[in-house]
Structure 1
Amino acid sequence: MQQPTLGRIVHYRGKQGRLAPRAAIVTGTIDSLDPSGIEAGDVPALDSPEHVHLWVFTPGTSGGFAEFNVPPGDGSDHTDSTVGTIPPGTWCWPPRV
């Protein structure tokens, strides 16, 4: 299983469940978070090594938004999942082209 790493591009499905796939960049992983920032409450903790913090890109003037502690979508290796098949509020790897 490929672990998410800082700076990787993933696909995100919004919490509302609409099929509006968004590109997102991983801004925090279990290995990249500063424990003192978590203890101080400045950075949310992650529930597992597969959960990530994301910056989700959006079209339009806002440009994007942050999502925290986002779990992976379905699929044990995340390679068969697409943004159209994962549950709302989750991420998956982009399909290979």
Structure 2
Amino acid sequence: MDRIPVIGDIVRYRGKQGLHAVRAAIVTADVTTLDPEGVKLGAVPALDDESHVHLWVFTPGQVGGFHEFNVGPGTEPGTWHWPADAR
């Protein structure tokens, strides 16, 4: 991995359901911003390591998106990856 994701980074998320569509997502928590008290109380899931993040995944349609928690990097369904360079 070329760099560690931080809160506010835009990444791509490959869905776990259906066609495994790739969607835009924003990092909503990383290891430096995760609230340890929230984790302790069970209000927020823990992160496995510094490459895992919590995401808000954007979707077309009325709902607009959904949360995904403790998402690791990769190219398989249920992972995030960096967007390709702008063309």
Q: TM-score, with normalisation over the residues of structure 1?
A: 0.84
CA distance in 2, matches of 1:25, 1:5: 9
Show the counterpart of 1:80: none
TM-superposed CA distance for 1:16, in Å, is 2.2
Show the counterpart of 1:83: none
Describe how 1:14-93 pairs up with structure 2 within 5 A: 14-16=15-17, 18-73=19-74, 86-93=75-82
CA distance in 1, matches of 2:20, 2:49: 26
CA distance in 2, matches of 1:17, 1:88: 10
CA root-mean-square deviation? 1.0
CA distance in 1, matches of 2:82, 2:18: 18
Secondary structure at 1:18 match in 2: coil
Larger strand proportion of the pair: 2
Contact 1:4 1:29 in 2 (8 A): yes
Show the counterpart of 1:76: none
Runs of 4+ aligned structure 1 residues displaced above 3 Å come to none
CA distance in 1, matches of 2:61, 2:78: 21
CA distance in 2, matches of 1:63, 1:72: 23
Show the counterpart of 2:3: 2
Secondary structure at 2:85 match in 1: coil
Could you list the runs of 5+ residues in structure 2 that have no partner in the other structure?
Answer: none
Contact 1:17 1:89 in 2 (8 A): no
Give the letter aligned to residue 50 of structure 1. Answer: S
Give the letter aligned to residue 22 of structure 2. Answer: P
In the alignment of these two chains, the number of paired residues is 85
